[in-house]
Amino acid sequence: MKTFELRNAHFDRLCNTPGLMWLGQNTNHFDPHPSVIQAVKDALDDGSYHAYAPPAGFQKLRALIVQDLGLSDTDATAFVTDGAVEALYNVCSRVCAPDTDFVTTDPSWSWPMQFARQAGSRVVELPIFDAAQGYKLTPAQLAAAVGPKTRVIYLVDPNNPLGTCHTADEIRAFAEIARSVGAYFIHDATYAQFADDFVPAYRFYPEKAIVTYSFSKWLGLAGMRLGAVVASPDIIEMVANAPPNNLGSNVLSQRAAIAGLETKDAWFPQIKQRLRRNQAAVADAVSRVPGLTVLVYPSQANLLVIDVAAADIKPEALVAAYDERGIMIRQGTYHTKRFGHRFVKVSLSVPEAWADAFCELLPAMVERARDIDVPAQLF
């Protein structure tokens, strides 16, 4: 069977597993504000989904996205997409080019690297799996890696999977480095809402900074596919020219997103509190199991990375052990071939009962992993 079919069958099984606890995809399983659900119901009842949405998204939603990023005082504008993945595909297809470099971190999120390679770019991965540098990119490291052929710098911030977040000074330094070689700076802000402090690169580099935005994580609309590109009007004009979808994104998703942004201050702080509670519970449980270590705590994303190397187990085996108990976690090789053998990732914007189940089972699952052959295929 082809790899694509194996991957699809794997996730089809997960999606059709009753009661599965999703601790592996960084999706948000907390209930949103009631107005979000009501907005979807209203759009169904009034039949507005029969018409295509505006090609760049509803004007109200576009303004709210820019506002949520703290860029209302700039000329930044938003282009709504069918999820942040489509946003990244559109941007990479436009700005990557043959015989140029696409510079990113290792670990990072793998799909934009594939988009860059498809466009003919060379992918340069800068290792950040290092406590000495705080598990994040340094300005000196980036400056040493760029040159005349650097076309794109891609940064997931907060980092997926490590959960580190860059300071304003660091983002300013990265922006200056990008400007020095004329590179585009794609600032992937998928996890920005979970961070204590997040500063978009657009504030320092409006001419070529591109921020990608997601509703899958903080608002929990993963299955409804909604995201955005935020950039200067000139760059939005470029990505809006023959995009993957020129008929407007899902009307129900956009109505839900508007409601979520309008009520965010009333409910999202409680989501972050519950997330931090789950992170603390898992960190405590990990500290009680010899050989396991939480690398970044508290994580500035909705996840934790657990180093398992000293426990002498394979991440894939621990994933398989938890799968037997109806809990999905993710092996590190999903993010990085170089360091993936060391860790698993656990997503924690989930009901407290799910996080507690993970914690309660952890000692037994480590022992179970010692007896499991590494699964042939995990995705």
- SS3 state of residue 240: coil
| Integer Cα distance of 359 and 294 in angstroms | 13
| Integer Cα distance of 285 and 269 in angstroms | 25
pLDDT-derived band of residue 33, with 50, 70 and 90 as boundaries? very high
What are 343's strand-pairing partners?
Answer: 307
| Integer Cα distance of 160 and 73 in angstroms | 29
Task: Judge contact between 160 and 25, C-beta under 8 A.
Answer: no
Question: SS3 sequence, 63-92?
Answer: HHHHHHCCCCCCCCEEEEECCHHHHHHHHH
The CATH class that applies to domain 34-263 reads alpha beta
pLDDT digits (tens, 9 = 90+) for 68-91: 999 999 999 999 999 999 999 999
Q: What pLDDT is stored for residue 358 in this prediction?
A: 99
- Long-range CB pairs of 363-368 (<8 Å, 24+ gap) are 363/288, 363/289, 365/318, 365/321, 365/322, 365/325, 366/289, 366/291, 366/292, 366/308, 366/311, 366/313, 366/318, 366/321, 368/321, 368/324
| Integer Cα distance of 330 and 336 in angstroms | 12
Q: What pLDDT is stored for residue 139 in this prediction?
A: 98
Task: Judge contact between 187 and 211, C-beta under 8 A.
Answer: yes
Sorted by sequence, the CB contacts under 8 Å of residue 176 that are 6+ apart come out as 204, 205
Mean pLDDT, rounded, for 306-328: 97
Q: What pLDDT is stored for residue 376 in this prediction?
A: 67
Token output for 137: 């990119």
Q: With a cut of 80, say whether residue 375 has pLDDT above it.
A: no
Q: Which fold has domain 3-30+265-369?
A: Aspartate Aminotransferase, domain 1 (3.90.1150)
| Integer Cα distance of 39 and 42 in angstroms | 5
Q: What pLDDT is stored for residue 255 in this prediction?
A: 98
- SS3 state of residue 223: helix
Q: What pLDDT is stored for residue 200 in this prediction?
A: 98
Mean pLDDT, rounded, for 314-335: 97
Outline which parts of the chain fall under CATH 3.40.640.10: 34-263
Q: What pLDDT is stored for residue 294 in this prediction?
A: 98
pLDDT digits (tens, 9 = 90+) for 134-177: 999 999 999 999 999 999 999 999 999 999 999 999 999 999 99
Outline which parts of the chain fall under CATH 3.90.1150.10: 3-30+265-369
Q: With a cut of 80, say whether residue 377 has pLDDT above it.
A: no
Q: What pLDDT is stored for residue 275 in this prediction?
A: 98
Token output for 228: 């955005």
Share of residues in the chain with pLDDT > 70 (%): 100
Q: With a cut of 90, say whether residue 1 has pLDDT above it.
A: no
The type of residue at 8 is N
Share of residues in the chain with pLDDT > 90 (%): 97
| Integer Cα distance of 285 and 94 in angstroms | 45
Rounded to two decimals, the pTM is 0.97
Token output for 208: 């070529």
According to DSSP, the β-strands at 122-127 and 101-106 are parallel
pLDDT digits (tens, 9 = 90+) for 171-211: 999 999 999 999 999 999 999 999 999 999 999 999 999 99
